[in-house]
Amino acid sequence: MRKEFRKLVTIDEANKIIESFDIQPGITEIKIEDSPGRVLAEDVVSEVDVPPFNRASMDGYAVHAADTYEAREDNPIRLKSVVSIPAGINPEIHVGRGEAAEIATGAVMPAGADAVVMVEYTRSDKDLLIFRPVSINENVMHAGSDIMVGERVLKKGTALSTREIGVLAATGRRAVKVYGLDVGIISTGNELEEPGSKLNEGKIYDINSFSVASAVKECGGNPIRYGIVRDDETEIKNVLKKAAERCDIILTSGSTSAGSGDVMYRIIEENGTVLAHGIDIKPGKPAVIGKVFGKPVFGLPGYPTSSLTIFNEFVAPLIRKITGEKEEKTHINAKMAVRVRSEGRSQLLPVGVIRGRVYPVEKGSGAITTLAEADGFIEIPSEVEMVEAGETVSVTLFGEVDIPDLLFVGSHCLGLDTLIDVASLKMRVINVGSSGGLSAIRNGTADIAGVHLLDESGEYNIPFLERFGIRDAVLVKGYLREQGLIVRKDSKISRFEDIIGARIINRNTGSGTRVLTDIKLREIALQRGISFEGLTENIDGYHTEAKTHSAIASAVKLGKADVGVGIRTVAELNGLDFIKIADEEYDFVIPPGLLESSGIKRFMEALRSQEFSEKLPPGLRTYERTGEIIRMPYSEIRK
């Protein structure tokens, strides 16, 4: 008996039917190598620092930078080479002044050394000859400079690609929880044969189950093929029932039209509900939408073009919505936000894209998160010396650009993750330090900069707006971070003065923590009636600098130092003791023209909220000035 089409539904009507489906994805834990294309069902928080220790980023010699300052091509300096340090061990040595330790790329920096001279600029005879000077921290990658312990490196809902898999591996994750959506795929038709088999007369190879399965996977679903089913009602019914027991969605192809041999709509109607039989679309008119054995079912037409048309128009958006997968694009044109100088050779520069602006995303050659933070890359030919700000460039995308509400550039803090969550903001975060954040505000690249710079006057952040030549910005007071001594559990150190006789690891010059340390040391020098220089020259490790709080904690944890100054959060995450000495002010700099934008308003509301205050990690807290806006230039405030 021939069954005529029911009244054709419009595209809008078909979409309304699909929107009524309540399909919840499952959550499954899989190995990271099986996770490309899947979507995270959890936040991924690093349990380790990356790198976990201060390491050499070049083959060469670990030295005291100060020993090399007079080195020249025609007048090399001589150092005593004391040991060779391979990668993979924790060297129990101390490099003294006038000494050098041969070191491999990736090896742990020995105590005492604060820089690495590349092997290309050395020669050995009975001593080591160095022909080029290095600065403190040159060719050294510090603990936590890429990823800090406790830092959220990937957010729930992130679609995983090769870049994110690298981040997972870098943090030691072997498995990860992802959303799972099982999609059953059934091809019907007496004429079908499996690819690879002999093709007999009147037969065609099954195309749809393979092409549709691939499309399901691209959308983030887990395709389950049930093979070819003949045009037999009992056989089709049994396979549909089997698929419904396991799968969240069922896709069939063939047997959907009004022909006498097309029975799919009838089986669905007898064992569920036909919600639509025929859609006013070309190609793809014979499609069926319904529920069978309690599960949503889409009967796709048998012709491959029609089948994929219906899938892409109606099924793909549903699967992507459920799994959180985003549609991919290939190229977009956008304008460079800053000037980029070429390296004199062909370059694939990782970039981020926000509201039509392109900015470089670079954290150094040793940082895996460079690519994780990029949306794509631009190709700079070798003959191009400069890409100017405002110039239109073609961006090759890694996937669809999920345009953020705001671009944050500056010093990262674990409290920022909390603030983003409370505000429900999509914020692109580029961690380049406080100075980098102020430069991004000055250049018009960033929407928000996170800063915690301490002036020698004892005032945080405000003096640096003038110092960086920033006239058109406001400073929003953020929250306090507890600064103090980071020591091992068995340490005898109990107060700041105790570091005088200890082996310390210091923060880098110009950092707020270093300024705080020097202020405290000047107070001690004044009390003792000696010069600041005289005091610090007798502190073991005073000139050994670390760029991150995590690098301080790592040095103490590994026994490279007895004590260092850092924030409580990092100390506790590393299982170390903390002795508070001061509160540090972590603030935000924002262009005034953005204060009335919806994104900044949500940011400010979250910053001032009780929820944010309660959810801050240990060692961070809001206070009476949180959310205060300072609008005037620094020079006017001081009047």
pLDDT reading at 245 higher than 90:
yes
Q: Both 39 and 68 in a single domain? A: no
> How far is residue 114 CA from its own chain's centroid?
29
Say what the pLDDT of residue 422 is. 95
Q: Both 497 and 632 in a single domain? A: yes
Say what the pLDDT of residue 282 is. 66
The arithmetic mean of pLDDT across residues 91-112, rounded, is: 95
623 within some domain: yes
2 pLDDT band, cuts 50/70/90, is very low
Q: Both 541 and 632 in a single domain? A: yes
pLDDT reading at 486 higher than 60:
yes
Q: Both 208 and 307 in a single domain? A: yes
498 within some domain: yes
Q: Both 390 and 339 in a single domain? A: yes
Say what the pLDDT of residue 326 is. 66
| pLDDT tens-digit map of 187-203 | 998 888 888 888 777 78
Say what the pLDDT of residue 395 is. 87
Q: Look up the CATH number of the domain holding residue 387.
A: 2.40.340.10
Q: Both 166 and 236 in a single domain? A: no
Compute the distance between CA of residue 286 and CA of residue 253 in angstroms, rounded to an integer.
10
479 within some domain: yes
In this structure, the number of other CB atoms found within 10 A of the CB of residue 368 comes to: 19
256, 290, 323: which is the final residue of a domain? Answer: 323
**For residues 180 and 222, is the Cβ–Cβ distance under 8 A?**
yes
Burial class (CB in 10 A: 0-12, 13-18, 19+), 23: middle
The arithmetic mean of pLDDT across residues 391-418, rounded, is: 83
pLDDT reading at 423 higher than 80:
yes
409 within some domain: no
pLDDT reading at 638 higher than 80:
no
627 pLDDT band, cuts 50/70/90, is very high
93, 119, 141: which is the final residue of a domain? Answer: 141
| pLDDT tens-digit map of 33-44 | 988 878 899 999
Q: Is the pTM of this model over 0.75?
A: no
Q: Look up the CATH number of the domain holding residue 71.
A: 2.170.190.11
- Least confidently predicted of 88-102, 189-203, 405-419: 189-203
Q: Look up the CATH number of the domain holding residue 161.
A: 3.90.105.10
Say what the pLDDT of residue 278 is. 83
585 pLDDT band, cuts 50/70/90, is very high
The arithmetic mean of pLDDT across residues 519-543, rounded, is: 93
pLDDT reading at 225 higher than 90:
yes
pLDDT reading at 232 higher than 50:
yes
Alpha helices, DSSP H, located in 389-461: 414-423, 433-442
| pLDDT tens-digit map of 252-279 | 988 755 554 467 888 998 999 999 988 8
454 within some domain: yes
The arithmetic mean of pLDDT across residues 571-584, rounded, is: 94
Q: Both 117 and 159 in a single domain? A: no
Compute the distance between CA of residue 463 and CA of residue 459 in angstroms, rounded to an integer.
7
Query: What average pLDDT does the structure give for the chain?
Result: 87
Q: Write the CA distances from 516 to 449, 549, 553, 604, integer angstroms.
A: 21, 14, 17, 28
Q: Both 241 and 363 in a single domain? A: no
pLDDT reading at 561 higher than 80:
yes
Its domain, for residue 160, covers 29-50+146-178
209 within some domain: yes
323, 349, 365: which is the final residue of a domain? Answer: 323
- Least confidently predicted of 59-68, 468-477, 614-623: 468-477
Say what the pLDDT of residue 509 is. 83
4 within some domain: no
